[in-house]
Amino acid sequence: MVLADLGRKLNAAFSSLNRASIVDEKVLDTLLKDVCAALLETDVNVKLVASLRVKVKAKVKASLESGADKGKDVNRKSIVQKAIFDELVQLVDPGVEPYKPKKGQPNVMMAVGLQGNGKTTTCTKLAVYYQRRGFKSCIVCADTFRAGAFDQTRQSATKAKVAYFGSYTETDPVAIAAQGVAKFKKERFEVIIVDTSGRHKQESELFQEMIQIGEAVKPNMTVMILDASIGQAAEAQAEAFKESANFGAIIVTKMDGHAKGGGAISAVAATKTPIIFLGVGEHLHDLEKFSPQPFISKLLGLGDVQGLMEHMQDIATQNPDKQKEIAKKLEEGKLSIRDWREQIQNVMNMGPISKIASMIPGLPQEMLQGSDEEGSMRMKRMIFITDSMTAYELDSDGSPFMESGKDGKPIGLTSRVTRVARGSGTSVREVEELLCQYRMMANMAKQAGGKNGWLQAAQKMQ
């Protein structure tokens, strides 16, 4: 999980708020102290942290004065949680919408950034990302400065089964970029990614070259690729690039290995440029879509229903027959256990468990910790459990497992639970847990029908 350490600390702070029997100024101060310390440790700018503290206090004070808590501590807790949640979102939200590629037309994206920041790797990841979502994607290698750049593109594009263009002999990057883009446009490619060379910040030639390539290929979006390890220095680097390449979006790479990632993200937000993706590893699929609200939600262990739904819809795009059915079920909040199992299986096929599991609300926190092998073993056990269910049970909303009293209210579990536990080689407790997680998921998906409903549902679950 991205920024696991920060997430754990924020989680711990929120848990101590939940344990507090009364919520007074002292409790709020302690909570804010813990939250701010966690943010500073991830290299978020001191001024931004101080302003978050002031804004949260002001918001909580205003809410309490208006009587929104109705004198109850539970309400006070959610007011505090909501105020912190909103301010954390503000911290990473530049308030600008990025360009969205459109189907059926060429969308040219030009990648710029310093050498070693992960530009070439990210270009391939981007092409794969869009290809999986049904866009005909390709890469143009216009990096003639670095020896071996074209070979790197050729190797990774071949591995990813993405079309590419480049030259071993042409030394003019502008000519290569123009030729490649023209060729792919003619061949009706929809996402054309132009990889430029990255040298050093001070080299004015590099900026000149970026401008010339930009003029030649007229990108719909220029993306800056930025390494998370520089933390809050990201602001200065982004500004320096912005002066020459008027980029519309940023991708922050190497978020997997750097404690300073939070600093980089908040610093970028300060430049009013949207972050569109985070690079979270060296593999082709290690690219996470970034949106402020789901990012904070995931960080706080609240899941990311929005992201999960996008995943589900992307999968459905690859199987158009299923698309309508899933969309309808999501809308009506009628996801069966079978649908849920299918989603778990799909996400297992989409990349390492730890990266995707955090999107699924209702999955236990332990699943998000530990190694990928441990996480995928836990998920496999969930699949074993559902494998032991009958078709009737799988297509249900879990009610066959619940015994109801005369008034129709659930009073306990049926013997079906024991049968499934025996059949799957698991325990009754594990089956119970799975049913409970499924119900939370179904409930959240239902809530997600309304805007922001998922957030409230997630907060209620805490």
- Give the footprint of ligand GDP on this chain (CB under 6 A): 113, 115-121, 198, 253-254, 256-257, 279-282, 286
In degrees and rounded to multiples of 5, residue 7 shows phi and psi of -55, -45
* Nearer to ligand GDP (CB atom), residue 229 or residue 293: 229
* Nearer to ligand GDP (CB atom), residue 13 or residue 123: 123
Q: Is the distance from CB of 195 to CB of 111 less than 8 angstroms?
A: yes
* Residues of the chain by 3-state class (helix, strand, coil), percent to 5: 60, 10, 30
In degrees and rounded to multiples of 5, residue 349 shows phi and psi of -85, -10
Give the bridge partners for 236, in sequence order: none
Token pair belonging to 318? 């690859």
* Nearer to ligand GDP (CB atom), residue 29 or residue 282: 282
Give the CA-trace dihedral at 445, 447, 451, 456, to 10 degrees: -110
Give the bridge partners for 27, in sequence order: none
Q: Rounded to the nearest whole angstrom, what is the least distance from the CB of residue 373 to ligand GDP in the complex?
A: 19
DSSP 8-state assignment for residue 351? S
Helix (H) or strand (E) holding 276: strand 275-279
* Nearer to ligand GDP (CB atom), residue 284 or residue 394: 284
Q: Rounded to the nearest whole angstrom, what is the least distance from the CB of residue 287 to ligand GDP in the complex?
A: 8
Q: Rounded to the nearest whole angstrom, what is the least distance from the CB of residue 149 to ligand GDP in the complex?
A: 7
Token pair belonging to 279? 């690079």
Give CA–CA dist 196/194, Å, rounded: 6
Q: Which amino acid is at 78?
A: S
Q: Rounded to the nearest whole angstrom, what is the least distance from the CB of residue 194 to ligand GDP in the complex?
A: 13
* Nearer to ligand GDP (CB atom), residue 159 or residue 422: 159
- Pairing mode of beta strands 287-289, 275-279: antiparallel
* Nearer to ligand GDP (CB atom), residue 255 or residue 347: 255
Q: Rounded to the nearest whole angstrom, what is the least distance from the CB of residue 282 to ligand GDP in the complex?
A: 4
Q: Rounded to the nearest whole angstrom, what is the least distance from the CB of residue 296 to ligand GDP in the complex?
A: 20
Q: Rounded to the nearest whole angstrom, what is the least distance from the CB of residue 120 to ligand GDP in the complex?
A: 3
Token pair belonging to 455? 């957030």
* Nearer to ligand GDP (CB atom), residue 281 or residue 361: 281
* Nearer to ligand GDP (CB atom), residue 116 or residue 450: 116
Give CA–CA dist 328/323, Å, rounded: 9
- With a CB cutoff of 8 Å and minimum separation 6, the contacts of 89 are 292, 293, 296
3-state secondary structure of 357: helix
In degrees and rounded to multiples of 5, residue 299 shows phi and psi of -60, -35
Q: Which amino acid is at 442?
A: A
**How far apart, in Å, are the Cα atoms of 211 and each of 38, 141, 235, 309, 418?**
40, 16, 21, 38, 67
* Nearer to ligand GDP (CB atom), residue 253 or residue 291: 253
Q: Which amino acid is at 144?
A: T
Token pair belonging to 33? 């102290």
* Nearer to ligand GDP (CB atom), residue 256 or residue 304: 256
- With a CB cutoff of 8 Å and minimum separation 6, the contacts of 319 are none
Q: Which residue is nearest to ligand GDP (CB)?
A: 279
Q: Rounded to the nearest whole angstrom, what is the least distance from the CB of residue 47 to ligand GDP in the complex?
A: 28
Nearest CA to 338 out of 396, 400, 418 is that of: 396
DSSP 8-state assignment for residue 257? T
* Nearer to ligand GDP (CB atom), residue 143 or residue 304: 143
Q: Rounded to the nearest whole angstrom, what is the least distance from the CB of residue 156 to ligand GDP in the complex?
A: 9
* Nearer to ligand GDP (CB atom), residue 174 or residue 225: 225
Q: Rounded to the nearest whole angstrom, what is the least distance from the CB of residue 351 to ligand GDP in the complex?
A: 13
Give the bridge partners for 163, in sequence order: 138
Q: Rounded to the nearest whole angstrom, what is the least distance from the CB of residue 91 to ligand GDP in the complex?
A: 22
Q: Rounded to the nearest whole angstrom, what is the least distance from the CB of residue 139 to ligand GDP in the complex?
A: 12
**How far apart, in Å, are the Cα atoms of 177 and each of 102, 181, 339?**
21, 6, 45
